Chains A and B, each alone.
Chain A
Amino acid sequence: DAGVTQSPTHLIKTRGQQVTLRCSPKSGHDTVSWYQQALGQGPQFIFQYYEEEERQRGNFPDRFSGHQFPNYSSELNVNALLLGDSALYLCASSLSEELRNTIYFGEGSWLTVV
């Protein structure tokens, strides 16, 4: 049973560019959340997707957008990259009926903006 998988593992982008990060949830999970973890800090909630809709959003600008596909996988898109967007991006999957009990994380995608 595969856990949460994220790709790519590492990537380097230039300021102003756009990036897409991908996440496949754990088998059987239908809810995907994205978190940003800057170096030396705890994660910050970006948004959560359920039934292909953004259900909840944290305090992030519109440059951050996402999508969930019918197979529950998800993408995180960041436009007009800033140096401050450099961080580890974590994907978490869960089962909607048991959100608080079944939160599993992927290994993250390291984004460096230069």
Chain B
Amino acid sequence: AQTVTQSQPEMSVQEAETVTLSCTYDTSESDYYLFWYKQPPSRQMILVIRQEAYKQQNATENRFSVNFQKAAKSFSLKISDSQLGDAAMYFCAYFLGSNYQLIWGAGTKLIIKP
């Protein structure tokens, strides 16, 4: 089965601290891409970071980085120096080229405490 599991329904972090959001996935495909999307109250999905499964190097975008463990099928997101604007729902997803769709987790609500 093709699934994505986000085991943390909600996470809370103090402003300026670091937080890690967990994601595991299950696929038998070898060619896929992994994504973290942010969904603020406006509801628009915003791409945070992308990782190609064939690359061993972890992706980094400014304060956002991932820890990609392909054998364990784990794809966690680390947010450094958390800011109030980071508060949102965060969704982990992977893209299968074989069926043209994103498979999504249930999301993690991130709360930033000032």
Q: What is A's interface to B at a CB cutoff of 8 Å?
A: 33, 35, 40-45, 48, 55-56, 58, 88, 90, 92, 99-101, 103-108, 110
Contact = CB atoms under 8 A, between A and B. Distances in A.
Interface residues of B, number: 24
Contacts of A103: 35, 47, 95, 102
Given A99-B95, A101-B50, A48 B42 contact: no
Interface stretch (B55-63, B65-73, B103-111): B103-111
A87 B76 CA distance: 28
Contacts of A48: 100-101
B64 interface: no
Contacts of B101: 33, 45, 48, 56, 58
B4 interface: yes
A36 B2 CA distance: 18
B99 interface: yes
Given A44-B104, A45-B101, A99-B100, A90 B4 contact: no
Given A41-B106, A42-B91, A42-B107, A56 B43 contact: no
B104 A43 contact: yes
Contacts of B44: 105-108
Nearest to A109: B43
